[in-house]
Amino acid sequence: LAKTTQPISMDSYEGQEVNITCSHNNIATNDYITWYQQFPSQGPRFIIQGYKTKVTNEVASLFIPADRKSSTLSLPRVSLSDTAVYYCLVGNQNRDDKIIFGKGTRLHILP
Amino acid sequence: GAVVSQHPSRVICKSGTSVKIECRSLDFQATTMFWYRQFPKQSLMLMATSNEGSKATYEQGVEKDKFLINHASLTLSTLTVTSAHPEDSSFYICSARRTSGRVDEQYFGPGTRLTVT
């Protein structure tokens, strides 16, 4: 599985757009990029998944450059409730890959 | 999205006893489930992969005789912590893989807080 590198922590303010970048230099051709959100004492929650270019859903956007060696999770207009740990994972679940979590990014939203 | 449940949500047990944690996929069948452990302020650590109808695959350093995994049906996997000790106190999270289209999706349970006294 491709190893990922994310900032350990980030602070932002309510109403701001937050971008969290993840590096995955060894991503394989068949690998997808998936982001999860985790609140304290809860299981991770799926946010978004993509393979290349840009993916957008109701909660976030995911930007993936052409070389796919990094990706950026974009959270528009964050609120206090977005304070959580965000994990970037890379793998191909069709190959029965298991999901291995990195350290994640602890996002703290300030009022 | 798909729902995965865990039971119990929290449990306190005495040192030396065994505790069973259940993981259920409520609205889909899961041939593969995963068990993770998470200590405070740390990331999730994969313990084992649970395969329906066959033996679980344990990660390096995880004692298979201490953490018994049974995946007897397509919707249920259980993790039994045998002879629990205080150092086994942790947050245990399961996930279930659902095959959907081109890429399988993985859904996580809400977790079980185990405290061993």
Nearest to A43 among B32, B49, B109 (CB): B109
Band (A2; pLDDT cuts 50, 70, 90):
low
Contact check, Cβ <8 Å, B103/A43: no
pLDDT score recorded for residue B31: 85
Residue A69 neighbours by CB distance under 10 Å: 14
Taking all residues of chain A, what is their mean pLDDT, rounded to a whole number?
Answer: 92
pLDDT score recorded for residue B81: 98
Give which of A33, A38, A106 to mutate to test B binding, by max B Cβ within 10 Å: A38
Residue-wise pLDDT tens digits, A60-108: 999 999 999 999 999 999 999 999 999 999 987 665 677 889 999 999 9
Residue B104 forms contact with A (CB below 8 Å): yes
Instruction: Please tell me whether residue B81 adopts helix, strand or coil conformation.
Output: strand
Using the predicted structure, report yes or no on whether residue A17 has a pLDDT greater than 90: yes
What is the b/e burial string over B71-100, where b = at least 16 CB atoms within 10 angstroms of the residue's CB?
Answer: beeebbbbbebeebeeebbbbbbbbbbbee
CA distance, residue A44 to nearest chain B CA (Å): 6
B-chain CB neighbours of A96 within 8 Å are 32
pLDDT score recorded for residue A100: 84
pLDDT score recorded for residue B72: 83
Q: Which residues of chain B have pLDDT under 70?
A: 1, 101-103
Q: B95: left (phi > 0), else alpha (psi -120 to 50), else beta? A: beta
Sign of the C-alpha dihedral computed for residues B5, B108, A9 and B61 taken in this order: positive
